[in-house]
Amino acid sequence: MKQISILTAVILCLNFQFVYSQTESRNQILLPRPNPYGILVSQTNGYNLDPDKAVQLVQDLGAAYARINVNNGDWYDDDKRQKFLDEYNTYTKSTPSIGILLNVLWVTGVPGPEPFPGATAEYKSFINDLIDTLTSPDYLKPALLVVENEENNVQFHLIESTADQDKFLEMLSYVVEEGHRNNLKVCNGAITNLGVILSTWDYFLSVKKDTVRATTFINNSFPAESIPFLSNSFYTEKKERALYYLNAYRNIPMDYMNIHWYEPAKLIDWYKEYPVTGVDTAHMSRGSLEEVFAFFSDSTVVGGKDLICNEAGQITPSDDIVSELTCALQGMPFVVWYSGDRDEFQSVRPYRQWGLHSNYATGATPFLIRPNGILFRDNIKSINQSPFIFCPEFPPLSDKH
């Protein structure tokens, strides 16, 4: 990537004035700092990488963290538990060591969305056993415990009422309590792109009573074809689920507020088989992420918790999105990029997850870093060496306002 020109940087900084409160000021982070970027290594080309090759990929991409997961079913199966622990050690004992951002999941083994058990005796036993193991001298502690994945996503979780959501909140509160007892950082599983957008829209509309700003934001976050349907129960229920969690997070002392974010954000909810018209597919959806950070900068939203993103990525194969989004999120403590095509590999959707690498079943080279992956590697290296100087934030994240 060519370094962004001074003129471009000035223009961007003038255009994007909304900020997100972080613990460190932009003016204080002018020298090389700890690398916040990580990788979620997933399936591409229909194949998965073995752990040792996944570690190599993470290192080759210049990342410092890997996102992996463990569930209770695997934990209490001797062979699967050992397989997980071997994978864990493969990352943490590599050179250089890769930090682990660990999603902790509860499964029942029954097909379909999983019900939240709540903080039952069985759940507490699982959490205690897991934490006791990973904080023992045989292991390097995980950098972060992430409770579940996309807690507002009904494709993953059985949510029929707020009582089901309360069970998740019980689980999160328990992991926070036990994690902190063992000097571990803990966060929620992540509010989805769509949940974040709908919550931000509601904030400007219902809380700030700023109809113009709310309308501008939603027009920057949804294609025109979708906006007439936002009053439907499909979107209303999604919004209410996300808001219920966000309101509860004010009073839960988790370390970070976790979201997922893909770009172009304007296309994240487009599932039709034909492309949308009039949307820039090569760049971030300008006017969307800026307002999301303005929303979270209000301490009444989630209590002023620092924002992280343990799943970021692109849904079009644009190199510019990689450049813009890695710059945009550079002020976060953790930024994990999703590198995989997964079940989208043969999808007819025009917009779908686009990995940084390709996997191969045979041959001397198990994976190939794609051009966008090379750009990711080079961009985060330059950002980490000169944060907020190599490229501006998009939008600024670090100053309080």
pLDDT digits (tens, 9 = 90+) for 215-232: 999 999 999 999 999 999
Give per-residue pLDDT as tens, 108-127.
Answer: 999 999 999 999 999 999 99
Helices (H), 153-210: 162-181, 193-202
**Which range has the top average pLDDT, 191-200, 266-275, 359-368?**
191-200
User: For 304-339, what is each residue's pLDDT tens digit?
Assistant: 999 999 999 999 989 999 999 999 999 999 999 999
User: Is 228 within the bounds of a domain?
Assistant: yes
User: 84 vs 31, which has greater pLDDT?
Assistant: 84
Respond yes or no on whether the N-terminal peptide bond of residue 32 is cis (omega within 30° of 0).
no
Residue 265: how many CB atoms within 10 A of its CB? 24
Rg (the chain; Cα; Å): 20
Are 351 and 220 contained in the same domain? yes
Q: Is residue 283 assigned to a domain? A: yes
Same domain flag for 82 and 176: yes
Question: What is d(CA 22, CA 299) in angstroms, rounded to the nearest whole number?
Answer: 11
In a domain, 59, yes or no: no
Report how many domains make up the chain: 2
Is there a domain that residue 74 lies in? yes
- With respect to residue 270, please indicate whether it lies within any of the assigned structural domains: yes
Q: Are 214 and 359 part of one and the same domain?
A: yes
Average pLDDT, the chain: 88
Residues 383 and 268 reside in one and the same domain: yes
138, 149, 133: which is closest to 92 by C-alpha? 138
- What letter represents residue 241's amino acid? R
Give CA–CA dist 206/21, Å, rounded.
Answer: 22
Are 275 and 399 in the same domain? Answer: yes
292 domain-assigned: yes
- Identify the domain boundary among 156, 189, 222: 189
Q: For residues 119 and 259, state if they share a domain.
A: no
In terms of pTM, does the model score above 0.85?
A: yes
Give the domain extent around 200. 1-46+193-401
pLDDT score of 48: 87
Specify burial of residue 337 (Cβ count, 10 A radius: 0-12, 13-18, 19+). Answer: buried
Predicted confidence band of residue 149 (pLDDT cuts 50, 70, 90): very high
Query: Is the same domain home to 177 and 201?
Result: no
Last residue of a domain, one of 155, 189, 223: 189
Which tens digit of pLDDT belongs to each residue from 70-112? Answer: 999 999 999 999 999 999 999 999 999 999 999 999 999 999 9
Q: Are residues 178 and 205 in the same domain?
A: no
Residues 70 and 136 in one domain: yes
Question: 349 pLDDT band (50/70/90 cuts)?
Answer: low
Domain boundary among 138, 156, 189: 189
- Nearest one of 118, 117, 143, 135 to 255, comparing CA atoms: 143
- The pLDDT of residue 156 is 97
Do 267 and 183 share a domain, yes or no?
Answer: no
Residues 178 and 206 in one domain: no
Per-residue model confidence as pLDDT tens digits over 42-69: 988 778 899 999 999 999 999 999 999 9
* Domain-embedded: residue 258: yes
52 within domain boundaries: no
Same domain, 234 and 348: yes
Q: Which residues of 95-106 are buried (b: 16+ CB within 10 A; e: fewer)?
A: eeebbbbbbbbb
